[in-house]
Amino acid sequence: MNKTIITVVGKDTVGIIAKVCTYLADNQINILDISQTIVQDFFNMMMVVDATKSPKKLGTIQEELDGIGKSIGVVIKCQQEDIFDSMHRI
Amino acid sequence: MINMYEVRETNEMIEKENLDVRTITLGISLLDCIDSDLNKLCDNIYKKITTLAKDLVSTGEEISHEFGIPIVNKRISVTPIALIGAAACKTPSDYVQIAKTLDKAAKAVGVNFLGGYSALVSKSMTAADRIFMESIPEALASTEFMCSSVNLGSSKTGINMDAVRLMGDIIKKTAEASDSMGCAKLVVFCNAPDDNPFMAGAFHGVTEGDSVINVGVSGPGVVKTALEKVHGESFEVLCETIKKTAFKVTRVGQLVAKEASKRLNVPFGIVDLSLAPTPAIGDSVADILCEMGLEYAGAPGTTAALALLNDQVKKGGVMASSYVGGLSGAFIPVSEDQGMIDAVEAGALTLEKLEAMTCVCSVGLDMIAIPGDTKATTISGIIADELAIGMINQKTTAVRVIPVIGKGVGESVEFGGLLGHAPIMPVNGFSCDEFVNRPGRIPAPIHSFKN
């Protein structure tokens, strides 16, 4: 399975997780894992998701998530898991 | 499963420390394009390049988006043109026609550079090689994306001094014909690798297959940031830190190379383990040397620090990639590295120290601006010195110097973009005319009795 990592970083505010999760649910993207912390008032979230059943292409998902991020003042990145796997796993 | 710390580390490398894949270079063999009719040859070349490389740029961008890693350059390297044009070209202007075809093809597929306007004359020159070399000034002046290189020597054949003498002259003529800019795209080598993805010296060697994907990684900023955390620690800790960082950087290159190879259906060749700087602040090899404890690059200790850096990068990188090749080492191009520029301006770094540094790292005297009135024989002398280091030490060395027409020491020159800007460095003015003007070649060195 091709996993995708979504990271959300920015100033903490109400409803960040709700907005992102709603988008994912609307687009048939399944969440496999979530971790979230606040570091020095900054909201940090990482999600591992499975986007293979989504009708949308990764490029479109990236753009739309980026748009959502901008609307709530956070940076949302969406990357294939392979880059992290290659770098941190032998 | 990947954890948050690891994800953040990777993304910080990309966002704050300038981690990128410097280049995906598609090597294309033009051997099957050869024809004795020049127009037909150019036609074949244009068709082959635009067919094979049509998806290179879009695929590179796709990979870049999906993984979230910048891929700065998409490039093409081709079989040395001196060979490809030998049957068709009777005059230098015939070769220039091929150069223009290559440039047109590069533009059509949207790559940043195309390398391989090259000749391999490490032992001797054919008549075609000589005509080719004479075409270089006009070829570089009349093209935009094309890079040129000439291999003038090797550890197996010695140094072709006739060609060294000729290239001293060609470099001057190139500077005159192209307002010095052409010289930024012209490099001469000893022991030139067949699979180098980096410009200006990339060409697709004759031992290579029909097409191949080679990838060059970067990451001086990542190494520098990692070293900031081990300030004052022992050499053991220093070396381990570089090794681990180089491993991570190279893994990204390996991933991108494999992915590009799969998507373009072109075999994966090599990953070039190089610390390639850019003029961007924080993306400098010189800064790594300073972080190790030098006031400026060029201070006593620089050669040792660079040797250590280069070796640890290779040790870390080799395990991260299934095939390693190309130049693989730390690059020290003066104009492309803000730390080097600062060192030259502070008076800490001289041409002679740079020459010493090239003994322990790839690739050579790179992107060095010299006074426009430097004699051709002096340039040949500089080339001969640098190639001798490569020949004796069985490593690749190169020279890319830029005589800046109409300017002298103390002034500087702006190349723009990745090529940066450079202060003009003083050159030893004593003559080597008589030495350089001797005909023939320097014999291959003995490979025993190492000292």
Q: Tell me: the pLDDT tens digits for B9-27? A: 999 999 888 899 999 999 9
The segments of chain B whose pLDDT lies below 70 read 451
Q: What pLDDT sits at residue B408?
A: 92
- The reply to whether B286 and B168 lie within a common domain is no
Backbone torsions φ then ψ of B109, nearest 5 degrees: -95, -5
Q: Does B1 touch chain A if contact means CB atoms closer than 8 Å? A: yes
- Strand positions, DSSP E, B168-280: 186-190, 211-217, 268-272
CATH of the domain at B393: 3.20.70.20
- Per-domain boundaries in chain A: 3-88
Instruction: Assess if residue B157 is contained within a domain.
Output: yes
Q: How far apart are CA B311 and CA B295, in angstroms?
A: 22
Cα distance between residue B451 and residue B437, in whole Å: 29
The CATH architecture one would assign to domain A3-88 is 2-Layer Sandwich (3.30)
Assigned token pair, B211: 């097409």
Task: Count structural domains, chain B.
Answer: 2
pLDDT over 70 for what percent of chain A? 99
Same domain, B367 and B329: yes
Whether B203 is covered by a domain: the verdict is no
Interchain pair A88, B65: CB under 8 A: no
Domain membership flag for residue B196: no
Given B175, B190, B205, which residue is the final one in a domain? B190
Based on the domain organization, do B42 and B154 belong to the same domain?
yes
B66 in a structural domain: yes
Residues of A in CB contact (< 8 Å) with B are 5, 7, 33, 35, 37, 44, 46, 48, 58-59, 62, 77-89
Instruction: Please say if the pLDDT value at position A79 is more than 90.
Output: yes
Containing structural domain, residue B71:
26-190
Residue B3 lies in a domain: no
Q: Which of B281, B91, B277, B267 is nearest to B195 (CA)?
A: B267
Rounded to the nearest angstrom, the minimum Cα separation between B433 and chain A is 53
* Residues facing residue B296 across a β-bridge: none
pLDDT in tens, B399-449: 999 999 999 998 998 887 777 788 999 999 999 999 999 999 999 999 887
Cα-trace Rg, chain A: 13
Q: Is residue B198 part of a domain?
A: no
Q: Which of B3, B65, B252 sits opposite A87 (nearest CB)?
A: B252
Question: B13 in a domain, yes or no?
Answer: no
Interchain pair A83, B252: CB under 8 A:
yes
Name the token pair of B107.
Answer: 């533009």
Kindly identify which residue of chain A lies nearest to residue B5, measuring between CA atoms: A46
Predicted confidence at residue A68, as pLDDT, reads 95
Cβ–Cβ of B10/A85 closer than 8 Å?
A: no
Based on the domain organization, do B394 and B306 belong to the same domain? yes
ipTM score of the complex? 0.88
- For residue B61, give the chain A residue with the closest CA: A59
Given this model, what pLDDT does residue B134 score? 98
Q: B9 to chain A: nearest residue by CA?
A: A84
pLDDT of residue B362: 73
